[in-house]
Amino acid sequence: MQQTETAAPSFHEASKTTKLSRGVIRQCPACGSGKLFRRWFVMVDRCPQCDLKFEREPGHWSGALGINTIMSFGVLLITIIVSVIATYPDLPVGRLVAICLVVAICMPVFYYPLSKVQWTAIDTCMNPLRPGEVKQPWGPPPAHDDQGSKAP
Ligand SMILES: [Zn+2]
């Protein structure tokens, strides 16, 4: 009987730079697949290509919430600073409040899907992919290999 045994399992886990770059453009940090959302707010549970489970542990999305909060307040702060500088000394307070309200409401909604993918990218950088967490060749093989089929 001829066995077509593969050599030592090989995989290529993406670099941290690649993972973070993929997060910026809403791609899976592990494999680069792009179809991660069914609708704007509805993310798939697992990557359709590499099978990475995006909610890697309970409470995973609190990091995405944190990123979204930081980015939203950052954009709001920049909006306030630019508006005040551009209109000083005659501040149109009513218009500035209206603009800031629009930014404060729209920015978290707009940034929501990006924050989830970016947080997953950051998380995979801090906590590398575990054996068997994704299909090969995007991550390490499962820990339980078939030891009995090795060639003598
Ligand atoms: Zn993937």
Question: For residue range 6-41, what is the model confidence (pLDDT) as tens digits?
Answer: 444 567 788 999 999 999 999 999 999 999 999 999
The dihedrals phi and psi of 19, each to the nearest 5 degrees, come to -60, -45
Categorize the per-residue pLDDT at 3 as very low, low, confident or very high, splitting at 50, 70 and 90. very low
| Mean pLDDT lowest among 20-29, 40-49, 115-124, 135-144 | 135-144
Question: How far is the centre of ligand 1, averaged over its atoms, from the C-alpha of 81 (Å)?
Answer: 39
**Ligand 1 mean position, distance from CA 51 (Å):** 6
Sign, CA torsion 96/102/104/107: negative
Nearest to 96 by CA among 113, 109, 84, 111: 84
Ligand 1 mean position, distance from CA 143 (Å): 20
> Are 47 and 37 in contact, with CB atoms under 8 Å apart?
no
For ligand 1, the distance from its centroid to the CA atom of residue 114, given in whole angstroms, is 15
Q: How far is the CA of 46 from the centre of ligand 1 (A)?
A: 8
CA of residue 117 to ligand 1 center, whole Å: 11
Confidence of residue 89 (pLDDT cuts 50, 70, 90): very high
Burial of residue 28 (number of CB atoms within 10 Å: 0-12, 13-18, 19+): buried
The pLDDT assigned to 102 comes to: 97
Mean pLDDT (whole number) for 67-81: 97
- pLDDT band, residue 138 (cuts 50/70/90): confident
pTM of the model: 0.81
* 31 C-alpha to ligand 1 centroid (Å): 4
Q: How much distance in Å is there from the Cα of 47 to the middle of ligand 1?
A: 5
At residue 77, the pLDDT reads 97
pLDDT at residue 9 in the model: 54
* Ligand 1 centroid, distance to 76 Cα (angstroms): 33
